[in-house]
A and B are shown apart, each in its own frame.
Chain A
Amino acid sequence: MSIITKYGFAATIAASFVSVTPVMAQTEYQKKFEGVELNVMNPAFPQFAALWKFLPEFEEQYGIKINVDEIPFDQLRQKSLVEMQQGTGRVDVFAVDVMWLAEYAAAGFLAPVKQYVDNPELTAEGYDIDDFLPRVLSGTGVYNDTLYTIPIGAGPVGTTFRGDVAEAAGFTLPEKFDDSFTTEYMYEAASKVHNPENGMIGFANVPGRWFWGVTYLPYLYAFQTPETKGDEYVGEDWKITINNQHTIDSIDYYVSLKDFMPADSANWGIGEATQLYQSGGAFGVWNYQDFITGFFEDGGNATINGKNKHLHTPAGPHGVIDPWFGSWGMGISVDTEKKEAAWTFIQWLTSKAIQERAIEFGAGPSRHSTYKSETVAEIAPWWTDTYEFMLTETNPDERIRTPEWAEISDIMGEEGNRVWIGEIDAAEAAANMEKKMTNVMRRGGYFIPGRTDLPKQLWRDLTYYDRLPSEWN
């Protein structure tokens, strides 16, 4: 594995300037945006920090000033929705998590972007929307057949382990997507190296109640059978189906990882778990592939850099591997009067050149060309072996894309966390989840007899997401 170091950054930046596709040229029409200021709201995540390194170039080239409002992830949805429902248009561009698109789009808070993609005065010829991976683009940005956001990156959720610690303990970790990497294997491997007295815990999990909608889900999915895949939350009639043995088993497994955790960890979020791993105090940790460079391979942490094995989440007892993918798209506020300038910014940000150059600083790919890039293969090889998965296996709808997702996720986290602290058992949690989620769906009008405008359950036929990006409205 060739990991770029901080000392090598300068040379690589210089090389990337000359080796990749040049950045988009400003059109005559876009000159009228000179002097415009755009407000952008995004999460405080490393992949965004990577992209923002290039902002001075954009501002110089287009004369558009970008004001970035970086918000902690767990507050972003709330702040975005407050801005959106006020309808002031103060924020021109929103970073939209794949799981929030349905909520924002159904409420009419985002402007469709296809008209801008097709406008040659606003979109450079080399932009090539069909260069985006179909499932990544449609999964991130399409709602009701309409394109609302363009992805800045996408990736699966996985696990990261210390390969050197495994070897010292006398075993070798499997490769990514290998069937032998199962939930049982992961627990046993963590047990082998778990030695808190010597400052090494087996696995740094993320049990805080606000994170279950991201960190527990891969296990909920992995514990399904091939027959129950797709029915984790709702049946075809939208009735909640989460109260079943697979859910109970998955919660029990997730909570069993508590065996490796410090006593005071019930509120741990991604930050706490990652910090412990970064300091060399944990053998394994949750990861999101877009965080790998920023969190685990940034070149500045000799304890872990270059010693990690980045795997997928383990396969469940029935051999099911989680098809989860997370992604962030950039969307334009329906209320802004600067939509064309906002699109100018988005098309620059998501261009081939910027995407490829930003990879080394921690951004993720969403284009074929970036995945296939030799530079990317060299500096971030964990992307290359993910390409096929993102093309054919991944499921944008694993977290069902309905406007009710935020509440469903909150319920799951609250009940799951109660199991973690020993207040209730997994069976009670599953029963509570079903009851509360049913109330949410009832309030959302899903059980009104004869209602015909309910969202489509697209995860049951993923070919929907495989359309060419240019075919969307």
Chain B
Amino acid sequence: MVEVSMASAPAERKSFWSKLGPSNKKVFPWVLMAPTLIILVGIGIYPFLYALNIASQNIILSKPYIPRFDVGLYQYQLLMHDPEFWKALRVTLLFTIEAVFIEFWLGLGLALLFQRSIRGASVMRIFILIPMILPPLVAALIWRYMFFPGAGLVTHYVGGLSEWLGFGQIPFLSDPTLALQTLIFVDVWEWTPFMFLMLSAGLASIPRQPYEAAEIDGASAWRVFWTITMPLLRPAILIAVVIRTMDAFRTFELIVVMTRGGPGNATTTLNVLLTKTGLEFFDASKAAALSLLMMMVIIVMSFVFIRVFRSKTEVAE
């Protein structure tokens, strides 16, 4: 009896591990994915649920003496009735759409240009990529000094030229409309190289045969661009635009360094508002609600992009 029981214990252990082994085709893939899933839950799902929990309370970190209680959806309701939120959303969308639109067309133009054989193309490519390589904070500081009132390179020369022409000084960062456009200009300077890089890779992956067929058929360059290049470039465009849109939507360093959301609140984006709410007023619950709303907006925007591009790709196919 004793011998039997001793022999059965290792057999049971073996059967447990064998259940997780490669022979179990249902469970084994999950075993392999487990570490990744655990990390995903830890850094993605848990913080999301935590933010949901905080957003349903009234936590102000700098006022620990205020009693904490559940407020349901009150923080979202507050934001929905806050003109500052809507203004920041408008500014964010304007910044994102305008910047990404310009970056896309400039990047595409450069990518098409560099498809041709240009002397010194490899060196020029490196120079084009420099703005993207710079840390955003450094880029923002460089431009802040370029636009420094009176003494910056841009304000001095462009402002001087403008005065010479009789238009007076240009309030690059002091006029509400111009300040946002100045920020967009700097964003375009910094991130057009990214579009260029992504779209160049996309162009390089397009096969030559459709172009040769079009050449034989005598199609114009314009027609070739719209009927061959653009449809075949769509997957690369989708990736580049979605990544840049998400990134532009969250732009922070550039705005904080150059205008800090001013003048007034003309350049206060949702991310700047979030920082003010969370790290200046320490209203953790309102900030959590705001960040969840921002996440929703990004998801919706990405979803719309993907749907539009997919439907167009299907039509093209």
State whether these chains interact: yes
Binds A, one of B17-25, B42-50, B101-109, B169-177: B169-177
A209/B150 contact (C-beta < 8 A), A264-B172, A265-B174 known:
no
Bitwise, B230-268 to A at CB < 8 A (1) or not (0) is 000000000000000000000000000001101111100
Asked if B149 and A268 make an inter-chain contact with CB atoms under 8 angstroms apart, the answer reads yes
Chain B residue with Cβ nearest A453:
B65
Binds B, one of A77-85, A90-98, A177-185: A77-85
Given A264, A276, A414, A444, which contacts B174 in the complex, CB threshold below 8 Å? A264
Asked if A210 and B282 make an inter-chain contact with CB atoms under 8 angstroms apart, the answer reads no
Bitwise, B145-187 to A at CB < 8 A (1) or not (0) is 0000110000100010000000011111111100000000000
Bitwise, B276-287 to A at CB < 8 A (1) or not (0) is 100111100000
Q: How many whole Å from B60's CB to the nearest CB in chain A?
A: 8
Asked if B168 and A263 make an inter-chain contact with CB atoms under 8 angstroms apart, the answer reads yes
Asked if B66 and A417 make an inter-chain contact with CB atoms under 8 angstroms apart, the answer reads no
Residues of B in contact (CB 8 Å), total 31
B61 close to A (CB within 8 Å) = yes
CA distance A106 to B60 in the complex (A): 13
Chain A residues near B282 (CB-CB < 8 A): 81, 85
Asked if B264 and A81 make an inter-chain contact with CB atoms under 8 angstroms apart, the answer reads no
Asked if A264 and B263 make an inter-chain contact with CB atoms under 8 angstroms apart, the answer reads no
Asked if A85 and B173 make an inter-chain contact with CB atoms under 8 angstroms apart, the answer reads no
Binds B, one of A354-362, A374-382, A418-426: A418-426
Chain A residues near B10 (CB-CB < 8 A): none
CA distance A264 to B176 in the complex (A): 11
Chain A residues near B280 (CB-CB < 8 A): 77-78, 406, 410
Q: How many whole Å from B207's CB to the nearest CB in chain A?
A: 52
B35 close to A (CB within 8 Å) = no
Asked if A421 and B149 make an inter-chain contact with CB atoms under 8 angstroms apart, the answer reads no
Q: How many whole Å from A25's CB to the nearest CB in chain B?
A: 39
Asked if B174 and A266 make an inter-chain contact with CB atoms under 8 angstroms apart, the answer reads yes
A262/B263 contact (C-beta < 8 A), A78-B280, A267-B173, A421-B174 known:
no
B311 close to A (CB within 8 Å) = no
Asked if B150 and A262 make an inter-chain contact with CB atoms under 8 angstroms apart, the answer reads yes
Residues 237-281 of A at the B interface (beta carbon under 8 Å):
262-268, 272, 276
Given A264, A265, A276, A423, which contacts B170 in the complex, CB threshold below 8 Å? A264
Asked if A423 and B264 make an inter-chain contact with CB atoms under 8 angstroms apart, the answer reads yes
A107 close to B (CB within 8 Å) = yes
Given A264, A414, A445, which contacts B66 in the complex, CB threshold below 8 Å? A445
Asked if A267 and B65 make an inter-chain contact with CB atoms under 8 angstroms apart, the answer reads no
A103 close to B (CB within 8 Å) = yes
B62 close to A (CB within 8 Å) = yes
A209/B149 contact (C-beta < 8 A), A78-B280, A107-B63, A266-B171 known:
no
Asked if A266 and B155 make an inter-chain contact with CB atoms under 8 angstroms apart, the answer reads no
Asked if B63 and A403 make an inter-chain contact with CB atoms under 8 angstroms apart, the answer reads yes
Chain B residues near A82 (CB-CB < 8 A): 279
Beyond the given pairs A77-B280, A264-B155, A410-B281, 8 more chain A to chain B contacts, judged by CB atoms under 8 angstroms and listed by A's residue number, are A85-B64, A209-B260, A262-B149, A263-B168, A266-B173, A407-B281, A414-B265, A421-B176
Residues of B bordering A, CB below 8 Å: 61-66, 149-150, 155, 159, 168-176, 259-260, 262-266, 276, 279-282
Residues of A bordering B, CB below 8 Å: 77-78, 81-82, 85, 103, 106-108, 208-210, 262-268, 272, 276, 403, 406-407, 410, 414, 417-418, 420-421, 423, 444-445
Closest 4 CB pairs of A and B: A266-B174, A418-B264, A266-B263, A263-B169
